[in-house]
Amino acid sequence: MELKDIEKLAELSRISLTALEKDGFLSDFESILAYVGEIKEVADEAPNREAGVLRNVMRDDVLYEKPLATREEILQDAPDRDGDYIKVKQIF
């Protein structure tokens, strides 16, 4: 990547850059491209790995036979109640 490439990107983005900013972007882009190069090397070294292959890592859905709680049992577990209703803090 060269300084003219940075200037072209700035022109396409319709932003103005100072010389100091251009130099900063040039070094940033060089480090980003170097990192991408490292990633490509690792990807090339391990061609046997399944990159991008989708597989299900979730457990199977299993129906557990469990008796449902009654209304009264649910209300008893509530921290605060008002008759047949669960009391919650006011939001508004």
pLDDT digit string, tens, across residues 25-36: 999 999 999 999
pLDDT of residue 60: 82
CA dist., res. 16 & res. 27, Å (int): 18
Contacts of 16 (CB under 8 A, 6+ apart): 10
CA dist., res. 5 & res. 67, Å (int): 68
Please determine, for residue 23, whether its predicted confidence score (pLDDT) is greater than 70.
yes
CA dist., res. 38 & res. 82, Å (int): 63
pLDDT tens digits, one per residue of 37-86: 988 887 776 665 666 677 777 878 888 787 778 888 888 888 898 888 89
Name the pTM for this structure. 0.43
